[in-house]
A and B are shown apart, each in its own frame.
Chain A
Amino acid sequence: MKAVCWHGKQDVRVDNVSEPKITNPRDVIIRITLTAVCGSDLHLYNGFIPSMKSGDILGHEFMGEVVEVGTENGLKQGDRVVVPFALACGNCYFCRKGLTAACDNSNPNADMLEKKDGYASSGLFGYSHIYGGYAGGQAEYVRVPYGDVGPLKIPESIPDEQALFLSDIFPTGYMAAENCNIQGGDVVAIWGCGSVGQFAIRSAFMLGAGRVVAIDRFPERLALARKGNAETINYEEVDDVVEELKELTGGIGPDSCIDAVGLEAHGNSADAYYDRAKQMTGLTTDRLSALRQAIKACRKCGTVSIPGVYGGFVDKMPMGTAFGKGLTLKMGQTHVHRYMAPLLKEIESSKIDPSVVISHRINLSDAPQAYEVFSNKEDHCIKVVMRP
């Protein structure tokens, strides 16, 4: 079968590989009908995530049709399902509490992750060996362990393009907004108008926000944010985003801030150049100019919610500011499983159409060019979906 494989920094190729097989009793095999490239895949593409090996299959956002089932688990051949990007066993303490991204049992390389984090969280599809090294879903077929826990059946009335983002970015944007602890009428500021930011905007309104202010530099992304009823700031056109937010909120500051940017933050401030210089010389791993602004801009006793992926260590993190203002920081990988069914209901009742973020529709064989275009934000690229 064809699969998109990582071969090095900015070297992604479509290889011919063997098809996956049932290995454990709870596995299912899915024939993929639609898959996507995520912003976090770009961290793999640009070489920021360690423990990748040449030949690893990428992709953690995918959906399709069940073709083979290990044991009886409520799924049968022909079922149309979307699969969460994190693997969860459903039996451990964390899974039972709905914290599926912290599953104890789904990472075969738990010892590697324990060395870094103290305790190993769940395995992820197509996201390096430290997260389990599972073959990803930018391919024709994928093996999905714990098939009785992960996959969600999708009704025929919902097309692939509307259902696909239940695998990752819609729940991620929603959980980011939920973590803000929005009280009715609150102002939410969101850094990053990529697809996660777009869903965070719409989720914030779903959860009762009064105003959402979205910050980015790409006109097409800001336009899409405005379509979601957000007010926008282009940070390349204002002197100081933090001051601008203060003015917009009557001198108080936004009640909560969402960092939907993560470790590859771009910026034109002095601290952003500092981060880049340190990263190039290997003295730091992550860039955090977006997070610094979020912490500075947030009102006193507000919440900073961080869905943006961070991998290693950050330098010059304004802990003093965060402490001084009594901020709450909430972060982490999305516990996708608990949001999928409720969000599917929102899609079914036409409250939201997730396919609005799609800007490019391609074949799997065009994936290498798609990664380059997405990484360079060329051609008004927001979200790329691929058909195998």
Chain B
Amino acid sequence: MEHIFPRIDRRKSRQQLRLKYGLAGGALLAIGIKRGSFFGGILSLAGANLLVKGITGHDLLETLGVTSFTPTGQNAQVPHQLGVQIQRTITIGLSPEDIYGFIRNFENLPRFMKHVQSVEMQGDKNAHWVIAGPAGRKMEWDSEIINEIPNELIAWQSVNCPDMENAGSIRLEKAPQDRGTVLRLSLRYMPPAGSIGAAIAKLFGKDPEAEIAADLCRLKQFLETGEVCTTKGQPVGGLQARREYERVQERNRELLKSSTEAITTESDYSSEKAKSASASGSSSF
């Protein structure tokens, strides 16, 4: 197959053709269903493939990892099913030294990485991660830093994680003019259930590259402004308003109850917070 279809970047043409794919797919599907029989079944499958391509932008064939149909360029699928690779760049208005100091302590990562519940440093180069994985599963593994150049590079890989081997690196480079630092994040992992799992997750809208992009956005916000912008808990009208209002009242009642109960443990909590807030003095989001 790869010899017949040259690997060209089809992303742009695919987007333009999406509506046509969708319409053609819908028509083929309808014809196939109406026709029935074996040939009708083939038509239905082809129609379903085109319809899915029109709606989601992804081929059903792509999900099965037929690489010749996979677009090239920056994306979340490495050819030959060697796991998922993500690369993302962002410019942050701090010096490489300040950023390095913050992220070198992996315990800061949960502050901006949505799916990382906690990271515990065990010595200078080793860490224990707890992740909220796909379908709400909790996953844990250890990592070790395999390469680092202060203020330029941190590279790590997982150890003892047969379920989801992963490796990553962060490169820091001074940005031109007074823009700060260019941060390049590279992640590579073998998702559970192989690339089929990743592909099915992608069909239903969970795009790991987009989630990592959002994580980096939160990192930028946290480092530049001291907080992560949010509209959580804000007032809203209509039917939602009554439910939200009741939820806020309930939470306030619980907070009041727990604050009176937890007076004796408050000192432990504040020392925990002091340990994890190494580079910046602001609270987490």
A contacts, CB < 8 Å to B: 1, 3, 5-7, 13, 15-21, 23-26, 54-57, 87, 89-93, 96, 104-108, 110-111, 123, 132-135, 139, 143, 145-146
Contact = CB atoms under 8 A, between A and B. Distances in A.
A56 B213 CA distance: 27
B79 to A, nearest CB: 26
A135 B233 CA distance: 10
A202 B217 CA distance: 40
Given A24-B227, A91-B225, A92-B93, A15 B238 contact: yes
Nearest to A90: B225
Main secondary structure, interface of A, reads loop
B60 to A, nearest CB: 23
Contact of B233 (A21, A25, A54): A21
A13 B241 CA distance: 13
Given A89-B225, A105-B225, A111-B210, A23 B230 contact: yes
Contact of B235 (A18, A87, A90, A93): A18
Contacts of B258: none
A92 B238 contact: no
26 contacts: A5-B241, A13-B238, A15-B237, A15-B241, A18-B241, A18-B245, A21-B248, A23-B230, A24-B285, A25-B226, A54-B238, A55-B236, A55-B237, A55-B239, A55-B241, A57-B236, A87-B229, A90-B225, A92-B224, A105-B229, A106-B229, A110-B214, A111-B217, A134-B234, A145-B229, A146-B225
Contact of B231 (A13, A15, A133): A133
A25 B238 contact: no
A111 B241 contact: no
Contact of A107 (B225, B229, B244): B229
A106 B228 CA distance: 9
A7 B235 contact: no
Main secondary structure of the interface of B (DSSP, over half): loop
Contacts of A16: 241
A95 to B, nearest CB: 9
A56 B236 contact: yes
Given A18-B245, A107-B229, A89 B224 contact: yes
Contacts of B234: 20, 23, 134-135, 143
A91 B220 CA distance: 11
B80 interface: no
Interface string B190-228: 000000000000000000001001100100110011111
Given A18-B244, A93-B93, A25 B230 contact: no
Of B224, B230, B244, chain A has the most CB atoms within 10 Å of the CB of B224
A132 B238 contact: no
A17 B237 CA distance: 6
B235 A1 contact: yes
B11 interface: no
A90 B220 CA distance: 13
Nearest to A58: B237
B217 A110 contact: yes
B231 to A, nearest CB: 5
A143 B231 CA distance: 9
Most chain A beta-carbon contacts within 10 A, residue among B93, B231, B285: B231
Contact of B226 (A7, A26, A57, A135): A26
